[in-house]
Amino acid sequence: MIKPHLVWYKGDNAIFLLRITCFFWFFIKVMSWRIWTTNRLLPTVPVADFFDYLPPILHTILFTISLCLLLAAFFKGSKPILVTLLAIEISSCILDQNRLQPWEYQYFFTVFLFIVNGGNRKIIPACFAFLLVSTYFYSGLSKINGGFLQSIWSTSILKVFFKIPAHIVAENWVHYSGLLLGATELLGGIGLLFTKTQALSAKLLIVMHLFIIVFLGFFGYNVSKVLWVWNTSMIFYLYYIFIFYNVGGSIIQSTIQGINKLVFLCWGILPILSFMGYWDYYLSSNLFSGNTPKMVICIMDTSACKPLKRFCYKKDINNTCHGLEKTDIQTLAILETGVSAYPEIRVYKKMQQKLKKQYPTAGLNFVYFTR
């Protein structure tokens, strides 16, 4: 007798992984629709300047086609549909690097795995598991720094979220205990590699995602709903791959077979270069680390850039703008599009050029903070 839960999978355990991806990817893209169009203040930053001359409607067309393909892939993940979907997504990100979010990059490679392993879908869950291992390992490693301790742990989590008094937060043992968060995530990622520790590590990481959802949700900062959805999808992945499906210990072996080596290179090797400044943060699972570059925009005359004024604030602890109205590119991006700006100096400088050209009399001044 066939077990009821196997009827839905039709004997293909990997298909549920594809459906999880398409389901959450679709809703994330709908929620962040502005980043996929040009109907926004945040400047687009294509990989080459000549793409700026393409008609703006092309962005919307690619976005619409992408949604249709995600629906099609959910019901029938055939190779032609997946190849076209991947091509459309890459094209969209070429037109604006801000679209290359960590979840977008993860979903790229999920679809890639289904395309190149179409004849052997049994290997896909193990290869996908490597994406998760890499995500948690490098995400945890990137949090072991002073920026995370100060801006994320001490300020955002302890003072603002938990409302712990400043004199307690200032205690050395409290301050440096934040390093345990990065270490726990890193070790959780390593634990996913081994059969004996996979279930425990998955449960630990699920708890972490639940905390992030609460932290960013209605009971916390109430921002970036896209990240709520992505963290929810990660919970589904962890449960399905490591608890329900029980992928086992063939993760590394599967990922270094054939063209899957590209996944091993992009997720296992290249992220190391990000710590030396030679690989992008978002391509290295550098998330909530507190050490990514920042760009503050000081505005001398807000009447000359009225659309930007609603994103301004006067709180200026470091006196960066010397009393002028200010905003920062991440605040602008998150409030307007629901996602962060791509945290690379080259991208910031392109946006700086466009904003200065758009508001030439506003007296915009740009201040950069790097790690």
Q: Are 295 and 366 in contact (CB under 8 A)?
A: yes
CA distance 214 to 222: 9
Tokens encoding 89: 């997504």
pLDDT of 228-286, one tens digit each?
Answer: 999 999 999 999 999 998 888 889 999 999 999 999 999 999 999 999 999 999 999 99
Q: How would DSSP label each residue in 134-201?
A: HHHHHHHHHTSSHHIIIIIIIIIIIIIIS---HHHHTSHHHHHTTHHHHHHHHHHHHHTTSHHHHHHH
Cβ pair 36, 29 in contact under 8 A: yes
Per-residue pLDDT for 80 more than 70? yes
Whether residue 79 contacts residue 118, with contact meaning beta carbons closer than 8 Å, is answered with yes
Separation between Cα atoms, residue 205 and residue 331, nearest integer Å: 28
Cα–Cα distance measured from residue 6 to residue 9, given in angstroms and rounded to the nearest whole number: 5
Q: Classify 47 as helix, strand or coil.
A: coil
Say what the pTM is: 0.93
pLDDT (0 to 100) of residue 221: 77
CB burial class (10 A; 0-12, 13-18, 19+) of residue 360? Answer: exposed
Could you give the C-alpha distances from 177 to 132, 138, 159, in angstroms and in order? 25, 19, 14
Q: Average the pLDDT over 174-200 and give the result.
A: 96
Q: Which residues contact 276 (CB under 8 A, 6 or more apart)?
A: none
The answer, yes or no, to whether residue 75 has pLDDT greater than 60, is yes
- Domain locations in the chain? 4-284, 294-369
Alpha carbons 277 and 292: distance in angstroms, whole number: 11
Question: Does the structure show a pLDDT above 80 at 121?
Answer: yes
pLDDT, one tens digit per residue, over 315-324 is 766 778 888 8
pLDDT digits (tens, 9 = 90+) for 56-68: 999 999 999 999 9
